[in-house]
Amino acid sequence: MNKGRFLFRSLFFYRKTHLWVVLGTMMSTAILVGALVIGDSVRHSLRKIVFDRLGTTEFALSSGDRFFQVRMADDLAESLNTTVAPLLQTRGIAIAEGGQRRVNDIQVIGVDSRFGEMGGIKERFGQLAPDEAIVNRSLASRLNIRENDEILLRMEKRDVMPKDAPLSLDSDSSLARRFLVKSIAADSALGKFNLRSDQLTPSTVFVSLHFLSKEMGFEGRANVLLVAEKAEASLDLQGVNDALKKAWTLSDAGLELRNIPGRNMVELRSNRIFLAPPVAAAAQEYGKGAQPVLTYFVNELRRGDRATPYSFVSAPGSPLIPPGMKDDEILINGWLAQDLNANVGDQIELTYYILGLGRELQEKKSGFRIIDVVPLEGIYADRDLLPDFPGLSGEENCRDWDPGIPIDLEKIRDKDEEYWDDFRGTPKAFVTLDKARALWANRFGDLTAVRFSISDQAEVESFLINKLDPSDLGFVFRDVKKEGLRASSQSVNFSQLFLGLSFFIIVAALLLTSLLFVFNTENRSEENGLLRALGFSRKAVKWAVLREGAVLVVLGSLLGGVVGVLYNGIILSALKTVWRGAVGTSALHIHFRFSSLLIGVSIGVAVAFFTIWLATWRQIKRPITGLQRGLAKVETIEKKRPNTSLIIGLVSWAALLIILVVADFGRGDQAFLFFFLAGTLFLIGGMAFTRVLLYMLGKNTDAVRLSNVNIGIRNNARKHTRSITLIGLLACGLFIVFTVGANRLNALKDSERRDSGTGGFALFGESSIPILYDLDSQKGTQLYGLDAINSDDVKYVPFRVKEGDDASCLNLNRVTHPQLIGVMPAELAARKSFTFADMSGEIDPENPWMVLDKKLPDGMIPAVADLSVIVWGLGKSVGDVLTYSDEKGKTFPVKLVGGLANSVFQGNIIVSEKTLIQKYPSISGYRIFLVDAPPEKVTTVADRLSWALQDQGLDLTLASTRLAEFNTVQNTYLSIFLILGSFGLLLGSVGLGVVVWRNVNERRGELALLRAVGYNKKSIQAILLSEHVALLVVGILFGIIAALLAVLPTFLTPGAGIPYPTILIILVIVSLNGIIWTFSAALLATKEDLIPALRKE
Amino acid sequence: MKMLLELKNIAKKYDIPSGQGYTTVLKDISMQVSSGESIAIVGPSGSGKSTLLNIMGALDKPSSGVVSLFGKNLAECDDTELSRIRNQEIGFIFQLHHLLPQCTVLENVLIPTIPLGLKKRDRDGEVQERAKKLLDRVGLGNHREYFPAQLSGGEMQRVAVVRALINKPKLVLADEPTGSLDKDSSENLGRLLVGMNKEEGTAFITVTHSFDFARLMEKAFKLQNGNLESYVI
């Protein structure tokens, strides 16, 4: 006989009871392992998605509305010795079956064979005819189309000139073409192509790059470059950007150098009319008489009652402008002097448009004193001063003008036509550059040209190329693969999430394990006592018990490891199907690292071992004589006052009171956290006080009050550990179920309220193609045919969009550059829309939205986002700063000053519109709309608006529906929590059953004695029922009160749809379940003949 | 004869669970036990016989007084030393056999050898041989591989006797060893215990209700009202 043999004998002999301990450990470990493996699986799946969506792409450049020559890709490919693919990317709408099915907000990408090389399928993308398209699976399934079907694509017509730039044309913002679906791109064949860090697959159409660029009006140009990774040597970001610096030309940036005929000069101009500030600055640094020029279109030049319509005024500097000319002085040419009958010294007034927000134009006037009348010849007859205004400069006749501003062609006289015929857009007046800049500078620039006193274009180009950095114009590569992998590795931590969601079930499983192990140990207390009597030291006995326990927990945990992987499979299947709302993708694959398995099993072993160690320690601590005689069963009424429990109880409830006093009811997630803590403290305190109460009940030996019920209750005092364990299991389970149930988000409830997540808006719209005009304005109403619905009670709040990553809970990746949206804060402030859940010091709580217009120190831009986006999507908190790059490649800080309670803005960072267009002048039009409409008009408004803006791909949904979509994620997590919590409850019920069964079994002698002394079956049943029902009632009460405390803020928050019926049903089920177990056990106990048990005793 | 056990002014009190005072079980008991002696302690139920036996066997501690076992004051011994004494110097026989149901007869007998930390060779050799001899001696040589559930009450108690003797203790303490047996089994066990007491040369102390069993011992004491008095049966 040795320790090993003794261990083996014991394990084998008690295998039936040990099995339950093994199962308990297996369950807790399986849940632990499952949670860790889910983390591995999600991370692995997201990583795989990165490779699927990028192919071999390592670096990408997206130049937005600047279109470089495709040649640049060739140059870069040669210099980097790898594949470089140019793409032309835009947005659009796909329509199939004659408009029966349409999908908005799709990616339209012009590609050639080089794109195919990124996915190892060169031929497929390189052989696209002009009328052929490849669609990805996502779009094919949404449109229900197959190969050789026809689709209509309406695409945003990209333009070199931002749509909001002064005089930019507002026509042709989209173009529609029909395509034959040549093939469907599988996910593994670049079908998932997406430069954003998102696990969701966008709907994409691939067409011929050559065809698309030609249709857009800039043949041979593109706006995206992909650089493939090199197999033999790695590329670095700096190297790629350096190569770009060598490869780019001025033409790639839309800049042009040209000689001015007849004058020994070279002029730099932009196809965007205004020179971007970095370009203008670099050009002026050239020296050699670099002369900045600003030429502007004025509506009218007036002297008294005589006026000349629609003319150009220029600020060409020296030598046209004489030295010393003042800012309020003007030179006019002879033609104008004659037309206005003006002379030197006369005052004339200029009327012109300046650019407001978006395309908004404000007519302004400015007065000048004529200091000279210059002849319309020589340097003053320079028609090259006129920039290439679209709709103006190329037209044969004035009456053919079609600029992007309102003009009254009726005002154009014959003499104006003649001037146009003879002198085209030659400026009629000249002002100082300072004055011109003061009047006409805008967010696109303050110069229309820079002239150099040199005839060698090459020299100027060389200077500018060296001086300028491509990043100044937004030409900068990003390490998209590294960013994607980082975003996936820092994605939502599903291990932690599921550990959190499974916390109570793990605790329940461990408590059950402990309970079962304690039963086993208690039942074998005589054996342990004997061993002590036979000379085994306390330590030796303890280790004998622990060795046995260790084998059980190791076995249970190993099994748990295997079951955990299976459990992970079930959870993943659920995440891909019934719980898809939480992840939004079915591209999840089982994957586990051995280390996760090892960690899970090790933690399972450690935690379960610790649990049984605690139980053993308490058992072995008992007096040896008691153990040996089996007195442990009847000698558990303690003499020692449970002071520790009393202290824990007092401290917990004192802390609870403090929280209730100091917590700010109904404000933000912190309030929820505080109250959840309050509920937990109530539970802890409740358990501790129950322990004290049981002690007091155990001490109460007043025979006068002895009754069946009292005997039952006193039995609970006798078995205080098991009583508290049971109460704890039940209370925790109910706490979870009730708290989770009450915290479910209901987007419909209170959705009409301004402080709800809809902001009180009826509709939320998102367009694929920007809508250039304010839908409320006269122009917008007319242009889009909204006369029938626009009224005083139908209003729009538009948002500009700077595309970025989706930071909503629908995206599992940890994004760094979420989408920015710009709004006029006054619109939201006036309505007092939405609720701020967290605010920094910069915010005035009375008027929080106006913080967006505030100027913060260090050039920080104030921004607001959903608190859940800030905390979970970005891993930040209110007060933290994000860094963005503006259109000029300069970084700027965005400070998250406020966090909104769950809102329709999830996934976006909100800044003021003014700020957004300052930083991104090329962003034209609006793409997000909140619509106010009275309930009775909502359907009509939605129908008319969707119809009117279908070419812009407006997706209009009820604001409450959009909120519900986001709530789906949270509610899905809550469902998961609820399911796992219910398992906890089930375990609690099983625990109760085990306790009752073991109690009855253990006390057969005791019960037999009661029978022998004359108790009838009913009396014994009453004792057993009162004993266990008391535990049930206390457990349920604690659970309910704790949960009520935890969800108190939810009652005070709009949109909190508390599912009272569900909670009630669960309560009834739990209560019934407990009573059934108890009653069955009581019946069973009294059914058998108990007298033999008495004899054994 | 060498003195093995000495009790000096032993008293034992128990607190009343309700916290209202205490009850005195043993009062100022003194006695000496020498090697090879056989002693019976008789007394009515609840007189404190088992308590006294537990104090002698280092299973319980007196409220006052000194217990010296083999010249050592037990109050000065730590748990390790007390465990060693119980294992190597004392053999216990209880009213209920307390055999481990998961172990065979032979394994049950060998249980007390585990704390000795014997090498496998010794465990398998000399000690096992002794166990087999002792089992043969009590008539259970053919039942070595039986489990307790396959034995009668008397057989189980005989296994418990062998288990008590396996480590060659100098003192064997028996608490109502025949209490759970029928008359015949009781007589057989009594004779066996006395015979083995002589053969092994151990001191033997038993507490018992049975005057027939007590009569087999060399000396007898009566425990009543907490006092121990010499008693002639």
- Condensed to tens digits (0 to 9), the pLDDT of residues A852-911 reads 999 998 889 999 999 988 887 888 899 999 999 887 778 899 999 999 988 899 889 999
Which has the minimum average pLDDT: A781-785, A1003-1007, B60-64? Answer: A1003-1007
> What local confidence, expressed as pLDDT, does residue A670 receive?
60
> What local confidence, expressed as pLDDT, does residue A365 receive?
94
Identify the three-state secondary structure at position A868: helix
What mean pLDDT do residues B147-159 have? 83
Closest Cα in chain B to A534:
B87
CA distance, residue B68 to nearest chain A CA (Å): 18
Residue A534: list chain B partners with CB under 8 A: 86-87, 92, 111-112, 115, 163
Q: Does the pLDDT value for residue A1096 go beyond 50?
A: no
Strand partners, A175: A155
Contact B59 A639 (CB under 8 A): no
Q: Is-above-0.80 flag for pTM?
A: no
Is A539 at the interface with chain B, CB within 8 A?
Answer: yes
Closest Cα in chain B to A700:
B18
Which has the minimum average pLDDT: A74-83, A449-458, A721-730, B117-126? Answer: B117-126
Residue A637: list chain B partners with CB under 8 A: 17
Strand partners, A368: A348
Contact B92 A701 (CB under 8 A): no
Residue B59: list chain A partners with CB under 8 A: 532-533, 624-625, 628
B-facing residues of A in 1016-1055 (CB < 8 A) are none
Amino acid at A479: D
- Taking the C-alpha atoms of residue A73 and residue A225, their distance in angstroms, rounded to an integer, is 7
Is A699 at the interface with chain B, CB within 8 A?
Answer: yes
Nearest to B98 among A10, A14, A530 (CB): A530
> What local confidence, expressed as pLDDT, does residue B1 receive?
63
Q: Does the pLDDT value for residue B192 go beyond 90?
A: no
- Taking the C-alpha atoms of residue A389 and residue A393, their distance in angstroms, rounded to an integer, is 5
Nearest to B115 among A13, A530, A540 (CB): A540
What mean pLDDT do residues A568-595 have? 81
Nearest to B83 among A527, A537, A701 (CB): A537
Q: How confident is the model at residue A580 (pLDDT cuts 50, 70, 90)?
A: confident
Place of tokens 């508290």: A724
What mean pLDDT do residues A1003-1023 have? 69
DSSP string of A943-955?
Answer: HHHHHHTGGGT-E
Contact B100 A3 (CB under 8 A): no
- For residue A309, is the peptide bond before it cis, meaning its omega torsion is within 30 degrees of 0? no
Q: Does the pLDDT value for residue B119 go beyond 70?
A: no
Nearest to A534 among B60, B111, B120 (CB): B111
The pLDDT tens digits for A616-638 are 776 666 655 554 454 334 344 45
Contacts of A306 (CB under 8 A, 6+ apart): A339, A340, A341
The pLDDT tens digits for B53-107 are 888 888 888 889 999 988 889 888 887 888 888 888 888 887 776 777 777 888 8
Contact A534 B80 (CB under 8 A): no
Closest Cα in chain B to A11:
B102
Instruction: Give the best-scoring range by mean pLDDT among A221-225, A289-293, A520-524.
Output: A221-225
> What tokens does B168 get?
């060659």
> What local confidence, expressed as pLDDT, does residue A636 receive?
42
> A745-748 long-range contacts, Cβ below 8 Å, gap at least 24?
A745/A902, A745/A967, A745/A970, A745/A971, A745/A1055, A745/A1056, A745/A1057, A746/A967, A746/A1055, A746/A1056, A746/A1057, A747/A960, A747/A961, A747/A963, A747/A964, A747/A967, A747/A1055, A748/A960, A748/A964, A748/A1057
> What local confidence, expressed as pLDDT, does residue A1094 receive?
45
Q: Does the pLDDT value for residue A711 go beyond 70?
A: no
> What local confidence, expressed as pLDDT, does residue A834 receive?
93
CA distance, residue A541 to nearest chain B CA (Å): 10
Which has the minimum average pLDDT: A319-333, A605-619, A1003-1017, B22-36? Answer: A1003-1017
Which has the minimum average pLDDT: A529-533, A608-612, A859-863, A966-970? Answer: A966-970
Interface of B with A (CB under 8 A): 15, 17-19, 54, 57, 59-60, 79-80, 83-88, 90, 92, 94, 98, 100-103, 106-107, 110-115, 120, 123, 163, 167
Q: Does the pLDDT value for residue A357 go beyond 80?
A: no
Strand partners, A103: A94
Contact B79 A538 (CB under 8 A): yes
Residue B98: list chain A partners with CB under 8 A: 526-527, 530, 628
CA distance, residue A9 to nearest chain B CA (Å): 5
The better pLDDT of the pair A1079, A112 is held by A112
Nearest to A535 among B15, B54, B87 (CB): B87
> What local confidence, expressed as pLDDT, does residue A853 receive?
92
Amino acid at A346: D
A926-932 and A763-771 as β-strands: parallel, antiparallel, unpaired? antiparallel
Is A16 at the interface with chain B, CB within 8 A?
Answer: no
3-state secondary structure A600-631: HHHHHHHHHHHHHHHHHHHHHCCCHHHHHHCH
Nearest to B17 among A533, A534, A637 (CB): A637
Give yes or no for a contact between A606 and A690, defined as CB atoms under 8 angstroms apart.
Answer: no
Residue B15: list chain A partners with CB under 8 A: 639
Q: Does the pLDDT value for residue A307 go beyond 90?
A: yes
End-to-end CA distance of chain A: 30
> What local confidence, expressed as pLDDT, does residue A99 receive?
75
Size of interface A-B (CB pairs under 8 A): 91
Strand partners, A300: A309, A351
Q: Does the pLDDT value for residue A1097 go beyond 50?
A: no
The better pLDDT of the pair A52, A1051 is held by A52
> What tokens does B112 get?
């007390």
Residue A628: list chain B partners with CB under 8 A: 59, 94, 98
Contact B92 A1 (CB under 8 A): no
What mean pLDDT do residues B134-152 have? 84
Contacts of A357 (CB under 8 A, 6+ apart): A824, A913, A914, A917
Contact B114 A536 (CB under 8 A): yes
The pLDDT tens digits for A738-752 are 777 666 666 666 778
What mean pLDDT do residues A435-453 have? 91
The pLDDT tens digits for A515-555 are 777 777 777 777 777 787 787 877 888 888 888 888 998 99
> What local confidence, expressed as pLDDT, does residue A624 receive?
58
Q: How confident is the model at residue A1085 (pLDDT cuts 50, 70, 90)?
A: low
Contact B103 A533 (CB under 8 A): no
The better pLDDT of the pair A587, B42 is held by B42
Q: Does the pLDDT value for residue A669 go beyond 70?
A: no
Contact B98 A639 (CB under 8 A): no
- Taking the C-alpha atoms of residue A511 and residue A517, their distance in angstroms, rounded to an integer, is 10
pLDDT-above-70 percentage for chain A: 88
The better pLDDT of the pair A210, A527 is held by A210
Is A704 at the interface with chain B, CB within 8 A?
Answer: no
What is the average pLDDT value for chain A, to the nearest integer? 83
- Give the angle A235-A237-A240 at the CA atoms, nearest 5°: 70
CA distance, residue B151 to nearest chain A CA (Å): 16
Strand partners, A58: none
Place of tokens 């098991």: A722
CA distance, residue B125 to nearest chain A CA (Å): 11
DSSP string of A876-915?
Answer: --TT-EEEEE-TTS-EEEEEEEEEESS-TTTTEEEEEHHH
Closest CA relative to residue A509, chosen from A517, A498, A497? A517
Closest Cα in chain B to A639:
B17
- Taking the C-alpha atoms of residue B121 and residue B106, their distance in angstroms, rounded to an integer, is 17
The pLDDT tens digits for A267-283 are 999 988 899 888 999 99
Q: Taking each helix axis from N to C terminus, what angle separates A1060-1087 and A720-743, rounded to the nearest 10 degrees?
A: 160
The radius of gyration of chain B's CA atoms, rounded to the nearest angstrom, is 18
Contact A2 B120 (CB under 8 A): yes
Contact B86 A13 (CB under 8 A): no
Q: How confident is the model at residue A171 (pLDDT cuts 50, 70, 90)?
A: low
Contact A701 B18 (CB under 8 A): yes
Place of tokens 């609870």: A656
What mean pLDDT do residues A942-947 have? 89
ipTM above 0.85, yes or no: no
> What local confidence, expressed as pLDDT, does residue A111 receive?
93
CA distance, residue B112 to nearest chain A CA (Å): 6
Is A13 at the interface with chain B, CB within 8 A?
Answer: yes
- Taking the C-alpha atoms of residue A646 and residue A649, their distance in angstroms, rounded to an integer, is 5
Q: Which of B86, B114, B150, B176 to mutate to test the interface with A (most CBs of A within 10 A)?
A: B114
Give yes or no for a contact between A294 and A433, defined as CB atoms under 8 angstroms apart.
Answer: yes
Nearest to B113 among A1, A10, A537 (CB): A1
Closest Cα in chain B to A637:
B17
> What local confidence, expressed as pLDDT, does residue A631 receive?
39
CA distance, residue B27 to nearest chain A CA (Å): 20
Q: Does the pLDDT value for residue A428 go beyond 70?
A: yes
CA distance, residue B136 to nearest chain A CA (Å): 18
> What local confidence, expressed as pLDDT, does residue A747 receive?
63
> What local confidence, expressed as pLDDT, does residue A151 receive?
93
Is A535 at the interface with chain B, CB within 8 A?
Answer: yes
- Taking the C-alpha atoms of residue A156 and residue A90, their distance in angstroms, rounded to an integer, is 6
Residue A374 parent element (H or E): strand A361-374
